[in-house]
Amino acid sequence: MSEKLANPAPLGLMGFGMTTVLLNLHNAGFYPLGSMILAMGLVYGGLAQVIPV
């Protein structure tokens, strides 16, 4: 039985895209900069890829 490993690339790309959209909404003045945007950048952007599945 072969060992299957998870692919972190989709999670990283989704996190990068969502964080970019939120930061662009903040730069356009539609949304205030809050802890949610910073937390998404940390958790989805890099921290979640380090956690082994």
Sign of the torsion angle spanned by Cα atoms 45, 42, 49, 30: negative
Write down the mean pLDDT value for the chain.
Answer: 75
Reported pTM: 0.58
* CA angle at 40 for the pair 27 and 7, rounded to the nearest 5°: 125
Distance between CA atoms of 24 and 45, rounded to whole angstroms?
16
- Phi, psi torsion values for 51, nearest 5 degrees: -70, 120
Lowest mean pLDDT across 7-11, 23-27, 32-36, 49-53: 49-53
Residue 3, pLDDT above cutoff 80: no
Report the pLDDT value the prediction gives residue 15, as an integer from 0 to 100.
Answer: 75
pLDDT-derived band at 50, boundaries 50, 70, 90: low
Report the pLDDT value the prediction gives residue 1, as an integer from 0 to 100.
Answer: 58
Report the pLDDT value the prediction gives residue 45, as an integer from 0 to 100.
Answer: 60
